[in-house]
Amino acid sequence: MAINSNIDLPIKPNLKIDVSQTFNIDSKITVKGYKEKTEWVPEIDPNYVFDKETTLSILAGFEHNRRVMVQGFHGTGKSTHIEQVAARLNWPCVRINLDSHISRIDLLGKDAIKLQDGKQITEFQEGLLPWSIQNPVALVFDEYDAGRPDVMFVIQRILEVEGKLTLLDQNKVVTPHSSFRLFATTNTVGLGDVTGLYHGTQQINQGQMDRWHILSTLNYLDPKQEYKVVSSQVGEMKSAKNQEILKNMIKLANLTRSGFSTGDISILMSPRTVISWAQNYKIFKDIVGSFKLTFLNKCDEMEKPILSEYFQRCFDLDIESDGPKS
pLDDT at 201 over 70: no
Q: Which of 108, 251, 100 is nearest to 168 (CA)?
A: 108
pLDDT (average), residues 180-197? 70
Radius of gyration over every alpha carbon of the chain, rounded to an integer in angstroms: 23
To the nearest whole number, what is the mean pLDDT of the chain?
88
Percent of the chain clearing pLDDT 70 (strictly above): 92
Q: How far apart are CA 51 and CA 24, in angstroms?
A: 10
Q: Which of 267, 229, 209, 208 is nearest to 74 (CA)?
A: 267
Q: How far apart are CA 65 and CA 62, in angstroms?
A: 6
Question: Between 162 and 165, whose confidence is greater?
Answer: 165
pLDDT at 30 over 60: yes
Confidence of residue 202 (pLDDT cuts 50, 70, 90): low
Confidence of residue 190 (pLDDT cuts 50, 70, 90): very low
Q: Which of 61, 49, 62 is nearest to 23 (CA)?
A: 49
Q: What is the DSSP letter of 221?
A: P
Tell me the pLDDT tens digit for each residue of 53-111: 999 999 999 999 999 999 988 778 899 999 999 999 999 999 999 887 888 888 888 87
3 state SS of 142: strand
Q: pTM for the complete prediction? A: 0.82
Q: How far apart are CA 296 and CA 289, in angstroms?
A: 10
Q: What is the pLDDT of residue 73?
A: 81
Q: How far apart are CA 244 and CA 223, in angstroms?
A: 12
pLDDT at 199 over 50: no
CB-CB neighbours of 168 under 10 Å: 8
Name which of 15-19, 184-188, 230-234, 322-326 the model is least confident about: 322-326
3 state SS of 109: strand
pLDDT at 294 over 70: yes
Q: How far apart are CA 20 and CA 26, in angstroms?
A: 6
Q: How far apart are CA 182 and CA 65, in angstroms?
A: 8
Helix axis angle, 223-233 relative to 271-284, nearest 10°? 50
Q: How far apart are CA 169 and CA 110, in angstroms?
A: 9
CB burial readout 115-138, b (16+ within 10 A) else e: eeeeeeeeeeebbbbbbbbbbbbb
Q: What is the pLDDT of residue 195?
A: 52
- CA 94 from centroid of its chain's CA atoms: 12
pLDDT at 289 over 90: yes
Percent of the chain clearing pLDDT 90 (strictly above): 57
Q: What is the pLDDT of residue 4?
A: 66
